Structure 1
């Protein structure tokens, strides 16, 4: 029994799950503070995490038993039961989301489940879909997290689209690292299908489009088309530009590490651009600082007093 649980938990992969769960919270944090509800945010984020877990189980089943590319940790029957149970859990939680928060956040988690079940052995065999399915999932998680709290504005949709573009460019670089192995198993990523050099040019194009789109969001704020603060949005355009430079100048592995680190700056700058003083994220930060500040004062008073 213990071995079966350990084998199941081996498919909980935080490196892939946390970004999607974090983007759900990120989307919720962009909502107006009066509309934000912690239980709804946790429900959506948890459902996103469960959908990612189903994806990892599905990958393990396909790669281990159908393709024989790795040693499976579970039997065929155990994989199938776990995938069905996880899928049923996502559907049930999506139904709860629909009842509590509306159809859009529920559809977002159902869409993530569909991506989870289709990634292997279907989406991961085509150069386009294997490049964009995870970035699209990140964008869906962001929009769904926001929709769980409030109506999705054009700003949140624009931010989600920019993340999709940036992450798709980075995904090309990640696939370049795996190009020899992917070629050996017939996995048609962009580097396999078009060669590393042409794949780099495609990644550069994605970064250029993302940089242009980010500047466009900032200019839309200047023109009054979107309720964003222009300076942070325009500043965020340096991230895809720097990612392009890393692709051109650095070794592939180092370029990917640099690009992944830069995504945090991208997220922070877009958040500052899209989140005004009335959004939930600012309210949470201010509340936390107030609590920490008061706690620090109380601790200081106790230290002085005795």
Structure 2
């Protein structure tokens, strides 16, 4: 019994919420941008859960490669246990993707299969090249958003544009994160952008990514003004301050503090883009309004009980 409990604890050590929650959250975010009449909670939960399982497979794969192949860390599981867990998790993602295909269509199913492919290829392949190690997680976030929307409705150009903007912003932030790890990555031969080009040039690349993202965000807002995209222009243009502020943080702040500021700013970016892309008929607004109605009625009932004694 103790051995079984130890194995479960070791397996759960690879459940890493800091990496899982953003991807799962972006699946829900994409679903919330869908029209309210098309939104189904079970489908949203199915897609988000499959995304989370794909991320779990990625963490297991990283643990296996870093622990047993590269010997960069102490592995929590044996080689056999890692392999069984990775195969079981992968089979689970494929099975759930098949269910998504049957219930929602091929696009949401392909999104989770694509995430599984990224999970299995990240280590020891994608994390060895400066470009792929920078963009694979941001691309995964974009795929999760598009898949979450596709699980509910046809993906419009607006959702694809929002996903692309997130990829650009997060890729810039990823360069800063890799700069923090540059000495260690260099020691193990991991060719991130700061290792391959040096910290200063990597900062310039990050600045370029932030600048492109800011320009793209303004472009989305202007497209709304011109009637090319069904977005509210003001929040989209306002969201451009986030990549601009991230660029300023890269230039002015110490690397660790810059990354913290940039990560915090992503929430403002998400909120402003949501307000821009989500009209009064989208699922996210309907959920918020319904929650406020329930809370409001609950508050009135509680007040009535208090007054009644």
Per-residue Cα deviation, 1:72-115 (whole angstroms, up to 9, x for no partner): 00000000000000000000000000000000000000000000
**CA drift at 1:212:** 0.1
Instruction: Report matched runs for 1:1-306 at 5 Å.
Output: 1-306=4-309
**CA drift at 1:68:** 0.0
Per-residue Cα deviation, 1:195-254 (whole angstroms, up to 9, x for no partner): 000000000000000000000000000000000000000000000000000000000000
**CA drift at 1:129:** 0.0
The count of aligned residue pairs is: 306
Per-residue Cα deviation, 1:55-86 (whole angstroms, up to 9, x for no partner): 00000000000000000000000000000000
RMSD: 0.1
**CA drift at 1:121:** 0.1
Structure 1: give runs of 5+ residues left out of the alignment. Answer: none
Per-residue Cα deviation, 1:145-183 (whole angstroms, up to 9, x for no partner): 000000000000000000000000000000000000000
**CA drift at 1:270:** 0.1
Per-residue Cα deviation, 1:36-63 (whole angstroms, up to 9, x for no partner): 0000000000000000000000000000
Alpha-carbon distance in 2 for matches of 1:141, 1:265: 19
3-state SS of 1:129 partner: helix
Structure 2: give runs of 5+ residues left out of the alignment. Answer: none
Using the size of structure 1 for normalisation, the TM-score is: 1.00
Alpha-carbon distance in 2 for matches of 1:252, 1:165: 19
Per-residue Cα deviation, 1:251-282 (whole angstroms, up to 9, x for no partner): 00000000000000000000000000000000
Spell out structure 1 runs of 4+ moving beyond 6 A: none
Alpha-carbon distance in 2 for matches of 1:33, 1:209: 32
Using the size of structure 2 for normalisation, the TM-score is: 0.99
**CA drift at 1:138:** 0.0
3-state SS of 1:232 partner: helix
Alpha-carbon distance in 1 for matches of 2:84, 2:301: 53
